[in-house]
Structure formats: structure tokens, C-alpha cells
Structure 1
Amino acid sequence: MRSIVKLSNRLKIAASYIKDGALFADIGSDHAYLPCYVCQQDTEAKAIAGEVSEGPYNSAVASVSYHNLAERIDVRLGDGLEVLKNNEADHLVIAGMGGTLIASILENGKEKLGRTNRIITQPNVDERSVRKWFLANNYHIAHEAILEENGHVYEVIVADKGEDTNNMMGDGLEKQLLFGPFLMNTKSAFFRQKWEKQMEKRSRVISQLRKAKIPDQEKMEKISTEIKWIEEVLHDDKKQ
């Protein structure tokens, strides 16, 4: 038997949300490490590994062949969800790219998602765009995780099909889109680490905008509001 595939911690967490026996698609699969890992752990799982570039596609084919998983992992070359047939995968994984790109991939291929009951994402930046897409397309956030790896804080966002009135609703919606409904409640050390840095970053941007000959007032107001939100979320538990 070939050795077990080693995954980064962020991909391990993403993989942990794939249910047993799933037929899942991993979009932007690179070397197909995640599909190989899951199929080694779960003998009933099957996967589609999608890649848009020939180099990573060939690497994925080689990985699948090396681990003797060609009968269970179908590597396909194509852009985003173009690699899928309609109603083909019950789980979808998109990891390791920006949130805006993830949302664009989902939007451009959403007609393929008829039977996709769970979408697992790991955006590197702009997680808000992913949450907005879920909210607009009848998916509710079921799980969130946050971790630090190689000096960067990553979020994993898992959404299940169907509405859930317990989160992403009400007056605090914009905050939940920015911070994550689960993450802002638990406020882990990694969450605090991320948002303390983000507050500093936004404060620097405000300082630069104020130096402009004609300051962009709208942008300044938006960033100032977000700074206020960060302060509230980081410190509101200390008031209790």
C-alpha cells in the first residue's frame, strides 16, 4: 500500500467536513492531495479533481495513479465547475484561493449544484464574498474553523443547502458576513490575532486617506465603520 498522503493543516480541516461515502469535487485540486487523502481514509468516497492548467492537471493524474486511486478519483481539466456534469457531486471543495474568486466560480457554475448539499471553502482572503454568495443562493453556514499556518491565519467555511434562521440574519448581518457567525461568537486566539492585525491595517489606510488632497469620504466612512465593528467584537465580551 502506498504511504498516506500528507496534507497541510488547513486542508485537513477542510477534508474533515466531507461526510463518509461522499462523491465530492475538489476544484483547483493542484496535485489532488486532498482527494487522495480522503479516499485513503474513507474507502467508500469517490472524487472528481478539477484543474484549469495542464501542469497541475498532469501532477494530479500522476498523484492519483501513484496512490492506486484511478478507479475512485477522476481527474478532469477545465475551468471551475465546468469539469462537473449537472447534479454530479454531493459535496464541493474549493480551497486555497481568494474569496472573490471562489464566489465567482460558484456563481458561474451554480447550475451544476443541484444535488450539492455541502460546500466546503477555504478562502485565503475576502471571506465575506463567500458568505455573501452562500446567503444569496440558499446555503447556510453550518461550520466555521480558523487556524494559523506558516504565519497566515486561514478560515474554513462550510455551508449546507437550505435556509437556517439561526444565523446570518437580523440587524447584525453585515458583521456576521465580515467576521463569520460562529467565529465571532467563539473568538478564538487565532480570531483575535487576525482581527487585531486587520484593525491596525485599516487604521493605516485611514491615515493615508486623510493625507490625500481630496479624501475619499465614502471609503473612509466604510473603513471607520469596520474598525468600530472590530473593536466591538473584540471587546464586547469584556463588558459582561
Structure 2
Amino acid sequence: MNRIEAIYTFIDSKDKVVDVGCDQAKLSIMLAKKGYSSIGSDISEKVISKAQNKIDKLKLNKYIDLRVSNGLEKIRKDEVDTLVLAGMGTFTILDILNNSMMRFDKIITISNNNHDILREKMNKLNYKVDSELIVYENNKYYNLIMFTPGNRIYNEYEVLLGLNHKDKESYEKYLSYLLKKYENIQKKSQNKNNKINRIINLIKSRV
């Protein structure tokens, strides 16, 4: 399962989906082939033009609405209840949300970094982790997190390593990868990183 397929598993036919930073509109195309409608937005006019040409060739126009937009600027609140923010960093995700007054039933993220910060900051925005999924694609691990409205108190393990993982097998492989990666970093480093030490200890205490 790749990242686009993983995101798709979190979407229902009734959802009003907006994919911000849609790039080649792969998610919207996948949804359209299942008969789902969606909006795709990207800040790049060139990217949107290329994606539109592809959609025209596939004759999927009635399902997909593409827009040149900086974040959610060109999206009306009645058009969306499910927001997809993938392929960007945590602080970009937070900037997009902080610059909008809209509320969502679901926010599906695949951040490139700082998942612990994302979990904590989203909680302050009144979105809690509903579920997570580790995706392995092109020799890299990606952490999909779906947020829904509400708050929760996380323990240290949940903040740093997540919770409610849908695929236990992929999560166990991810933990093994992290443990090996961080142990190697600590061996080579003169200055021990406290956060990395905490992650190592948390993984070891679990496995």
C-alpha cells in the first residue's frame, strides 16, 4: 500500500474532501475512479494545469474540482468536512490550519517530520489523534495520522511514537527501524540527544 492508497482507506463516500497541496491530483483521481467527488488545491498554477490536463484525458472532470490556492484561501467552509494535508512538514500543516477559521470532521495528515509536535499542537487546536497508519513506500516509512475534533491527554509514549495504529505489523517494523536508527546515531554522537534517548528507552520498554 502506498501513501495515496493509505489516505484513501480513511475516506468515506459521503466525505467532502479537499486535498491541499494536491500536486498531480493522484488522490482525487483515485477517488474519482470510485465515484467520489473531491477538490484539489495547490499554490502552483503550473502544477494545477498539468493535473487538469491529466483529468481531462481521463474524463473525470465531473468528480474533480482543481483550484490554484494558497492553503485554504479559495475553499468555502460548506465545501469541505475532510481535509487532507500530505507531503509537507508539520509547521506547514499548522500554518495552513492556523490561517483558517474552518473546522473539519477529519484531518488526514502525512507529515515529513516532527510528528510529536504535530500531535501536541493539534491537541491545542482541539483535534485529537483518532488513528494512525505506518506506510512503507520507496524504502521510507511514512506516518499517516488522522485527527478528529476533541482533546485527549497523551502520555510520553503516545506523543513520541503514536497511538491507535491500524496496522500492527507495519508499526512493529517501524519501531524496529527507529530503534536501530537512533541507537546508531547515539553511538556516533559525542553529545547524547535526550529526546532520542527517551525514544530508545520507550521502544525497548515496549518490545
Q: TM-score range by the shorter chain?
A: 0.7 to 0.9
> In 1, distance between residues paired with 2:94 and 2:74?
17
Q: Deviations over 1:17-64 (max 9, x none)?
A: 0112211000010111101101212x2x22110010112111121122
> In 2, distance between residues paired with 1:202 and 1:62?
49
**Which residue pairs with 2:177 in the alignment?**
193
Q: Secondary structure at the match of 2:178?
A: helix
Percent identity between matched residues is 25
Equivalent of 1:31 in 24, 44, 47: 24
C-alpha displacement of 1:202: 5.3
Higher RCO (C-alpha under 8 Å, 6+ residues apart): 2
Q: Secondary structure at the match of 1:20?
A: coil
> In 2, distance between residues paired with 1:202 and 1:73?
48
**Which residue pairs with 1:229 in the alignment?**
198
> In 1, distance between residues paired with 2:202 and 2:140?
21
Q: Please provide the CA RMSD for this pair.
A: 2.2
Kept after mapping to 2: 8 A contact 1:52/1:77: yes
C-alpha displacement of 1:93: 0.6
AA matched with 2:33: Q
AA matched with 2:70: D
Q: Secondary structure at the match of 1:49?
A: strand
Q: Secondary structure at the match of 1:29?
A: coil
Equivalent of 2:102 in 112, 125, 129: 112
Which 5+ residue runs of structure 2 have no aligned equivalent?
none
1:121 aligns with 2:109: yes
Alignment of 1:36-55 (within 5 A): 36-41=29-34, 43=35, 45-55=36-46
Distance of aligned partners of 1:28 and 1:126 in 2 relative to their CA distance in 1, 3 Å threshold: same
> In 2, distance between residues paired with 1:21 and 1:40?
15
Equivalent of 1:61 in 8, 30, 52: 52
The normalised TM-score by structure 1 is 0.77
Distance of aligned partners of 1:58 and 1:131 in 2 relative to their CA distance in 1, 3 Å threshold: same
Kept after mapping to 2: 8 A contact 1:86/1:112: yes
Kept after mapping to 1: 8 A contact 2:123/2:150: no
